[in-house]
Amino acid sequence: MAITYSNAFKEVINTLAEIIRNETKIPVHFDPEYSERATQYFNITPISNTVISRFSGGSTREYNVEIKYFLRKGNYGKHTHIDFLTDIGERITRLFNDKRNASSINELFQGVLSQFVESQGTFAGAIAYSFHDGRIESVNYQPDKDDSEDFDDLHIVDFDFNCVITEVEK
């Protein structure tokens, strides 16, 4: 008998891409390494998930995602680079302060909603649950560059994003 499952990581990264794209109007990609796509873009990479707790009929897991912002621009300066990069860092950090509990039209987490509708009214009005407690844990403006990123005019802002998902088995 085959198991039934939903790809929670897919929902997390798709929701992140949707939120970032809607806020910044900057392209979002899912490349394994840097690729010369545009002057600026975001790249999302799933890193890990950890079980926080198990319960009868489900589990709660924390997901970790790396979000990188790439800016390819020469003539480094405070106003043209430092101010701009730190503005992106603050904007994305604050964006996820506002979007800590994300929802999506995807039906992946409808089981969670049906379990909590009666006990917690806040879930009743939601369209679909994607994740909760979404947050940027850290921002690194000087990350180590791998071989694909080794360009003098390439600037990177590296975000460490975590969120929690409670899944109910169907």
Angle subtended by helix axes 83-98 and 8-24, to nearest 10: 120
CATH, residue 59: 3.30.2000.10
Residue with tokens 């994740």: 131
The verdict on residue 2 lying in a domain is no
The verdict on residue 135 lying in a domain is yes
Domain range holding 34?
Answer: 8-168
The verdict on residue 1 lying in a domain is no
The verdict on residue 14 lying in a domain is yes
The number of distinct structural domains making up the chain is 1
The verdict on residue 75 lying in a domain is yes
The structure's pTM equals: 0.81
Say what the pLDDT of residue 4 is. 77
Q: Do the Cβ atoms of 167 and 130 come closer than 8 Å?
A: no
Q: Within 13 Å and on the Cβ side, how many CA atoms surround 162?
A: 10
The verdict on residue 120 lying in a domain is yes
* Residue 11 in tokens: 């929902």
Say what the pLDDT of residue 123 is. 45
Say what the pLDDT of residue 108 is. 40
Q: Please give the single-letter amino acid code of residue 107.
A: E
Distance of CA 111 to the CA centre of its chain: 22
- Mean pLDDT per block of 10 residues along the chain (170 residues) reads 82 92 95 93 97 89 97 90 95 81 47 42 52 91 95 96 85
The verdict on residue 80 lying in a domain is yes
Q: Do the Cβ atoms of 102 and 15 come closer than 8 Å?
A: yes
The verdict on residue 3 lying in a domain is no
